[in-house]
Amino acid sequence: MNTSALKPLVGVVACLKQIGHHPYQAVQEKYIRALTDGAGVLPLLIPSLGQERVPLASLLARVDGLLFTGSPSNVEPHHYQGPASAPGTLHDPARDETSLPMIRAAVAAGLPILGICRGFQEMNVAFGGSLHQKVHEVGGFRDHREDDTAPLDSQYAPAHAVHLTPGGWFARWMGRESIPVNSLHSQGVERLGQGLCVEARAEDGLIEGFRVEAAQAFAVAVQWHPEWRMAENAFSLRLFAEFGEACRQYANPD
Give the residue numbers annotated as catalytic, written as ranges: 117, 225, 227
**How does DSSP assign 150-170, residue by residue?**
S-HHHHTS--EEEEEPTTSHH
Query: What is the amino acid identity at position 51?
Result: Q
Q: Are 94 and 49 in contact (CB under 8 A)?
A: yes
Closest CA to 34 of 217, 231, 174, 184: 231
Reported as half-sphere exposure (CB side, CA atoms, 13 A), residue 102 has a value of: 36
Instruction: Tell me the residue type at 206.
Output: L
Q: Is the Cβ–Cβ distance between 122 and 73 less than 8 Å?
A: no
